[in-house]
């Protein structure tokens, strides 16, 4: 257990469904991230939250909607996804003090399959 917990571990959803991925960190970190990893591709950064404020959105389609209600929780709301959105979705957290960066801690990911 890394201190970053993602649920569910596996998710199968239809293209018309609405679902949410959840990430919780117990490390006291002040920044959280969503990454997408498609088969045989590098990790792609999707969203960055720092102190609960979204600081980066890497041209992600609007069918992905992040939410960060507090510094310990991060959600990724999904609706009307496409089969090509099937991937491993990874959450990470980090502690960034006055811009200093101490590295990421990742969760185990949610394996999403869109049918």
Partner 1 sequence: DAKTTQPPSMDCAEGRAANLPCNHSTISGNEYVYWYRQIHSQGPQYIIHGLKNNETNEMASLIITEDRKSSTLILPHATLRDTAVYYCIVRVANSGGSNYKLTFGKGTLLTVNP
Can you give the binding site for partner 1, defined by CB under 8 A? 2, 4, 31, 33, 42-43, 45, 48, 50, 55-56, 88, 90-92, 94, 96, 98-109, 111
Its sign, for the CA torsion 25, 93, 69, 66, is negative
Distance in Å, CB of 21 to partner 1, minimum: 13
- Of residues 40, 59, 48, 55, the one with CA closest to residue 91: 48
Query: Is the separation of the CB atoms in 10 and 114 below 8 Å?
Result: no
What are the tokens at 93? 């957290």
Residue 30 or 65: the one with the smaller Cβ distance to partner 1 is 30
What are the tokens at 21? 């991925």
Residue 16 or 70: the one with the smaller Cβ distance to partner 1 is 70
Query: Is the separation of the CB atoms in 44 and 87 below 8 Å?
Result: no
Local structure of residue 83 (DSSP, 8 states): G
Distance in Å, CB of 80 to partner 1, minimum: 26
Distance in Å, CB of 103 to partner 1, minimum: 5
Query: Is the separation of the CB atoms in 4 and 89 below 8 Å?
Result: no
Residue 18 or 54: the one with the smaller Cβ distance to partner 1 is 54
Residue 50 or 80: the one with the smaller Cβ distance to partner 1 is 50
Distance in Å, CB of 16 to partner 1, minimum: 27
């Amino acid at each position: 257990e890394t201190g970053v917990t993602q649920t569910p571990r596996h998710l199968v959803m239809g293209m018309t469904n609405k679902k949410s991925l959840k990430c919780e960190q117990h490390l006291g970190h002040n920044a959280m991230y969503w990454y997408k990893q498609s088969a045989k591709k590098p990790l792609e950064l999707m969203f960055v939250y720092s102190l609960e404020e979204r600081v980066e959105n890497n041209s992600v389609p609007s069918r992905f909607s992040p939410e960060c209600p507090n510094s310990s929780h991060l959600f990724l709301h999904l609706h009307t996804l496409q089969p090509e959105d099937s991937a491993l979705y990874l959450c990470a957290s980090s502690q960034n003090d006055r811009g200093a960066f101490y590295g990421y801690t990742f969760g185990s990911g949610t394996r999403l399959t869109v049918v």
